[in-house]
Amino acid sequence: MASKTAYKRLTKEYKHIQEEPPPYITAHPLESNILEWVYLIDGPPDTPYTGGQYWGTLVFPPDYPFKPPAIRMMTPSGRFQTSTRLCLSISDFHPKSFNPAWEVSTILTGLLSFMTSEEMTTGSISATPAQRKQLAAMSRWWNSTGGGTSTGGGGKIGFGDGGARFRTDWPEVDRDNWQWMRDHKINPQNGRVIAASTPIHTKSEATDMKEEQVAERIAVAERASQNWFSRNKIMIATAVIVAWVAIGRVFQHDVTAS
């Protein structure tokens, strides 16, 4: 539970960030808990992240602003490990170096600055500019589909949840993402461009289509698992009958001839 100081401070900062959002950054607290915020970073121009949509969380301690928040990024970026606490001077890895005068906007601006650098720390990863550009191009799809799957995920927020958490945190953005996928003919199952002859599916249609494909694959596997005799018994029986009739005619011809 937030202290009185933390509640007052975060309420004030939410109002401020709504009125004067930092460049490329949007953020808001959860309705159920003012200590947990979600943010979106739009990949800035002239970087490998251009066009990307990066979603993450800030979890503040009850005694904020005297201690910093835990910072995580959920969207694969090629810069940070997903759902992993990041070791930054503005994060809970370094409470003694945190300045209570820093606000949410300061923290997120610092995160963006670090993201566009090449400095390494706990939670950061290396990737080529091409890999980061590819991830940026798939980020909207990934956020709204949880990586194109509805099960599994090892408990990590976002991955494998079918986009449920993102949809809860950013309902309007999620709707825009689905429209973007339809406009750009993106397959919801794998994030790839759909062939011109393939119809574009809604979320519910994509789920139904996936179930049908699974059922078809099971049927194919069952057919393949049957032995050759079982799958061709009618053909074998027909061949035996034809051979028997042919032998009978030959035998009858020999008897007549003799």
**Is 193 in the same domain as 96?**
yes
Residue 205 inside a domain? The answer is no
C-alpha dist (Å) from residue 121 to 19, 57, 79: 32, 18, 10
pLDDT of residue 84: 96
CB 89 within 8 A of CB 53: no
Q: Which domain holds residue 72?
A: 4-200
Residue 214 inside a domain? The answer is no
pLDDT of residue 149: 55
Residue 217 inside a domain? The answer is no
**Is 245 in the same domain as 184?**
no
pLDDT of residue 197: 52
Residue 215 inside a domain? The answer is no
Catalytic residues: 87
Amino acid identity for residue 85 in this structure: R
CA–CA distance, 158 with 168 (Å, rounded to integer): 11
Which one of 184, 200, 216 terminates a domain?
200
**Is 137 in the same domain as 251?**
no
pLDDT of residue 104: 98
> Mean pLDDT per 10-residue run, the chain (258 residues)?
96 97 98 97 98 98 97 97 96 95 97 97 96 97 83 49 93 97 94 72 52 45 43 56 60 53
CATH code (residue 43): 3.10.110.10
pLDDT of residue 226: 43
**Is 233 in the same domain as 160?**
no
CB 237 within 8 A of CB 245: no
pLDDT of residue 38: 98
Domain count, the chain: 2
Helix (H) or strand (E) holding 6: helix 4-19
